[in-house]
Amino acid sequence: MPCCECCGCCACWWTGRRRHRPPDLQAGNPRNKCALQPGHSLMDWIRLGNSGKDLTGVGGRIRPVSPTELSLHNTQNNAWLAIRGRVYNITHYLPFHPGGSEELMRGAGMDATELFDKVHPWVNYDSLLAKCLVGPLSFDRPDADELFNTSSPKADRLREPSKAQELVRKSMENLANCITPVRKKITAKSEENVKGSPPSKIMQSLIQSSDLPVSISRRAAANLARKTTAKDTPPPVRYDWIQTSHKLILSIYTGQLVNPGGSARLVGGSLLIEIVTDGWLRTFQLNPEGSLREPLQLKVFAESGKVEVVAIKVESKVWKECGVMTLGDPVPTSAPRRVECRVLDVAQLSHDTSLLVLAAVTGPVIVPLGHHIRVHHQQNSECVRSYTPLGDGWDRSRIDLTTLKLAVKRYDSGLLSPYLTSLKIGDLVTF
Ligand code: HEM
């Protein structure tokens, strides 16, 4: 409600606080707050936000948006806008906007910061639109199409670490040098000259093209298309190591937005690491200076693309070198292979749905985001079903973040779900 006519001061229904709003003719009629349709109050909007509905329109996965891509989303059925460097999908919010959908559409497809600030800088847009966030507005990136186009030189450049990443890495190095008196680069032979051990293809079963879910991101879909183009080249990777007297930590930098997955295991004293990025499988074999032991830890930092492997030293001491690293030739991922897993935990999510927490027997495995695994079971005949592992938020036991978490709905007449939902802790299952 306005408290005076001359300047448009009002009591904001959103914050409940009285604000002073200077009149601004360019921003449209300052008093054109609209009567909203029934079912479109603030409470209704909050309810919709909590309903689990995807208000981002892109599956809820945060990703950068170029100005060109933003400008394409400018219709009532598909409207994005950017405020202070964040792009929001406002399509669902339009009928809830107290100033009316037409007013809000004035900011669609563009950086609407100025317009927004002219009308109502006090409005808490970032919490109102929190569930609509698509990602950061990014001026220094190529357009999405270029990014997903493998032949684009910009796409290759993107995979290189940015200056900021490089700075962070350097400061981490300095920090590591303070912690460990001895720290040297891995003595690795060049990728071109060395024929590493043949890749064991552990990840190949995880990223089979036929397993890709329909909702997979454009990037992942583009990767899939890429697999068929023979002239393609794998993205560059870098690696590094640090140590404490107890642990060896290997970091493999795969690049931004390449959605890495991987596995790690100890075989005959060697540390074998397999990394999948952009449809390519790479192997790293480290013959360590001293002995390493399990359990191994594997972490993927989704945004930066860093993959970190932590191994425990059998004898607590600082090594002069980490050992000899051999890189296998990168190979396009194609043929499936089986991995045996042990059930670490079983939880009942509802009357017919169970959460299975699995760990690969050989060592940690991380499935790239959005990819399926294929669960096998031999009954009268071989039965195979695809499941997409859940994110880490589902690990109620917090046993290990590299566990694979499957939500399995039981269909009594189904072939595999009765078997999976009857599994007990300690049982083995193959995927
Ligand atoms: C950038 C383009 C936008 C324009 C041109 C615009 C315009 C307007 C107008 C004209 C009003 C009526 C003002 C009044 O009489 O009280 C209004 C109210 C409001 N708008 Fe927007 N708006 C825009 C973006 C947004 C966004 C992104 C949000 C947040 C999600 C938002 C949330 C609100 C709220 C909560 C009110 C009621 C504010 C109050 O009563 O103090 N608007 N808007």
**Intrachain domains 159-332 and 340-430 with the same fold:** no
Q: Find the 68 Cα to ligand 1 centroid distance in Å.
A: 25
Q: Is 49 in the pocket of ligand 1 (CB under 6 A)?
A: no
What's the whole-number mean pLDDT along residues 401-405?
A: 74
In this predicted model, what pLDDT tens digit does every residue of 5-14 receive, in sequence order? 333 333 333 3
More confident of the two residues 123 and 266: 266
Least confident range of 268-272, 274-278, 390-394 = 390-394
Among 104, 110, 124, 133, residue to substitute to test ligand 1 (most atoms within 8 Å of Cβ):
104
| Structure confidence by residue, pLDDT tens digits, 410-424 | 998 888 899 899 999
Residue nearest to atom 37 of ligand 1 (CA): 98
Report residue 362's pLDDT band, with 50, 70 and 90 as the boundaries.
Answer: confident
Locate all alpha helices (DSSP H) within 380-427, ordered by sequence: 417-421
| Cα dihedral 25, 26, 30, 33 sign | positive
Evaluate: CB of 116 within 6 angstroms of ligand 1.
yes
Closest CA relative to residue 296, chosen from 328, 253, 267: 267
pLDDT tens-digit series, residues 104-136: 999 999 999 999 988 888 888 988 999 999 998
Please identify, by atom number, the ligand 1 atom nearest to the C-alpha of residue 28: 10
Query: What's this model's pTM, rounded to 2 decimal places?
Result: 0.44
Question: Ligand 1 pocket, 142 CB below 6 A?
Answer: no
In ligand 1, the atom with minimum distance to the C-alpha of 103 is 5
CA 52 to ligand 1 centroid distance, Å: 25
Domain residue ranges in the chain: 24-136, 159-332, 340-430
Does position 381 have pLDDT exceeding 70, yes or no?
A: yes
Q: Is 226 in the pocket of ligand 1 (CB under 6 A)?
A: no
The whole-angstrom separation of Cα 80 and Cα 92 is 10
134 touches 63 (CB < 8 A): yes
Residue of 106, 119, 132 to test ligand 1 pocket, by largest number of atoms within 8 Å of CB: 119
Domain spanning 340-430, CATH architecture:
Beta Barrel (2.40)
CA of 93 to the centre of ligand 1 (A): 11
- In this structure, which residue's CA is closest to atom 10 in ligand 1? 99
How much distance in Å is there from the Cα of 120 to the middle of ligand 1? 6
pLDDT of residue 18: 36
**pLDDT given at position 369:** 75
Q: What is the residue type of 13?
A: W
Atom index in ligand 1 nearest the CA of residue 19 equals 41
Closest Cα to atom 41 of ligand 1 = 12
Return the C-alpha torsion angle 317, 321, 322, 326, nearest 10: -160
Mutate to test the pocket of ligand 1, among 123, 128, 133 (most ligand atoms within 8 A of CB): 123
% of the chain exceeding 90 in pLDDT: 29
Q: What is the pLDDT of residues 139-148, one digit of tens each?
A: 654 444 443 3
- What is the 99 CA–ligand 1 centroid distance (Å)? 5
Comparing 55 with 26, the larger pLDDT belongs to 55
Largest CA distance in the chain: 82
Distance (Å, whole) CA 224 – CA 167? 33
Ligand 1 within 6 A of CB of 55: no
Q: What is the pLDDT of residue 81?
A: 97
Reported as a single tens digit per residue, the pLDDT across 293-323 is 988 988 888 777 889 999 999 999 899 888 9
Q: Of 3.30.70.240, 3.30.1780.10, 3.40.50.300, 2.60.40.790, which CATH number belongs to 159-332?
A: 2.60.40.790
Q: What is the pLDDT of residue 153?
A: 44
**Protein residue with its CA nearest to atom 4 in ligand 1:** 104
Lowest mean pLDDT among 47-51, 159-163, 373-377: 159-163
Q: Whose CA is nearest to atom 11 of ligand 1?
A: 99
| Fold held by 24-136 | Flavocytochrome B2; Chain A, domain 1 (3.10.120)
Least confident span in 65-74, 174-183, 343-352: 174-183
What is the number of other CB atoms lying within 10 angstroms of the CB of residue 219? 18
- Mean pLDDT of the chain, nearest integer: 73
- How far, in Å, is the centroid of ligand 1 from the Cα of 122? 10
Cα–ligand 1 centroid distance for 35 (angstroms): 13
Closest by CA position to 252, among listed 236, 267, 231: 236
